[in-house]
Amino acid sequence: MGNITDEQVCDLQKKANDIRQSILEMLIEAGSGHTAGPLGMADIFTYLYFHALKHDPKNPSWEQRDRLVLSNGHICPVLYATMAHSGYFPIEDLKTLRKFGSKLQGHPHREFLPALETSSGPLGSGLSQSVGMALAIRIDEGKTSNKFVYCLTGDGELDEGQNWEAVMLAAKEKLHNLIMIIDRNNIQIDGFTEDIMPLKKLSEKFESFNWHVIEIDGHNFEAIDDAISQAKTVFDMPSVIIAHTIPGKGVDFMERRFEWHGNPPGKGPEDVYKKDEQATEALKRLRTLGGKITCNDHE
């Protein structure tokens, strides 16, 4: 259903790897922050900012822009890195993550970085905010408006009951301009989601609330493109894309491990590398991976 080209996929793969390196560099500099989720969601954010979103980094308040709401604000390193690479602010500013007075707070804060649509931190609130935005757009512009609201959430975040109130309202109002993307990485800070609070079967839950459900590999750009394209053609209900991702994607000793949920390189588990080796080894993995992207060079 999508129309992404091989050349575009190649460019997005390269960009996502650059963004992953920036995520690690900013976390290493900060000495704190979340690693697994940002690395896992880099492909989704790269696709949105460099292919799907209607936005203008030089005019963040452009009235015709799509809205992107990051509900699980703790994965903001991927949001900041992607925004920097797409031109919202200099890439060098990423090194100020979590520093006192920085516009790049540990959770997104709109008063510090006005290009953000919302501030986020308390889990579970982003979908409610997105429902409000989608409904306001429809009230102001009618059902034919081509603006979309993208709400990105974590799977562990779905433990919060407020999400399900928003899910019900979105379905009642048939908010076709709302696209929710769930990072289904199966981890949260205390362990695996299915041990903490089981979510299976997530697709059936959303279908029972009258949402259009799409499940994809969250690292496959063709699948991401197909899912977004499909969601935009649904006119009588909101859509949710359940994106199966690998937390810590690109760094083998971090992948699929909940211990890296809230730890930066240098503060993670030492069963593979000692703390003073983790930063060097993690960056080496991504730099080596970048060299293995063998698609034709279109630069």
- The tens digit of pLDDT for each residue in 185-241 reads 999 999 999 999 999 899 999 999 999 999 999 999 999 999 999 999 999 999 999
- Is 91 within a domain? yes
Asked if the structure places residue 221 within a domain, the reply is yes
Structural domains counted in the chain: 1
Say which CATH number the domain at 152 has. 3.40.50.970
Domain membership of residue 297 (yes or no) is: no
143 preceded by a cis bond (ω within 30 of 0)? no
Instruction: Give the structural domain span for 83.
Output: 6-291
Rg (CA), the chain: 18
**Close Cβ partners of 274 (under 8 Å, ≥ 6 residues apart):** none
- Quickly state the pLDDT bin for 295 (edges 50, 70, 90): confident
Q: Which of 231, 243, 295, 287 is nearest to 43 (CA)?
A: 243
Residue 221 token pair: 């750009």
Q: What is the pTM of this model?
A: 0.96
Give domain status of residue 117, yes or no. yes
Q: How far apart are alpha carbons 45 and 77 in whole angstroms?
A: 11
Asked if residue 57 is part of any domain, the answer here is yes
DSSP assignments along the chain, one per residue? -----HHHHHHHHHHHHHHHHHHHHHHHHHT-S--HHHHHTHHHHHHIIIII----TT-TT-TT--EEEESSGGGHHHHHHHHHHTTSS-GGGGGGTT-TT-SS-SS--TTT-TTSS----STT-HHHHHHHHHHHHHHHH-TT----EEEEEESGGGGSTHHHHHHHHHHHTT-TTEEEEEEE-SEETTEEHHHHS---SHHHHHHHTT-EEEEEETT-HHHHHHHHHHHTT--SS-EEEEEE--TTTT-TTTTT-GGGSS--TTSS--SSS-HHHHHHHHHHHHHHHHHT--S----
Digit-coded pLDDT (tens) for 79-102:
999 999 999 999 999 999 999 999
* 5-35 per-position pLDDT tens digit: 999 999 999 999 999 999 999 999 999 999 9
Question: Considering the domain boundaries, does residue 299 fall inside one?
Answer: no
Q: Provide the angle, in degrees to the nearest 10, between the axes of the packed helices 6-30 and 76-85.
A: 120
The amino acid sitting at 190 is: D
298: in domain: no
Short-list 181, 199, 182, 211, CA closest to 66: 181
Average pLDDT estimate for 132-147: 94
Q: Is residue 296 part of a domain?
A: no
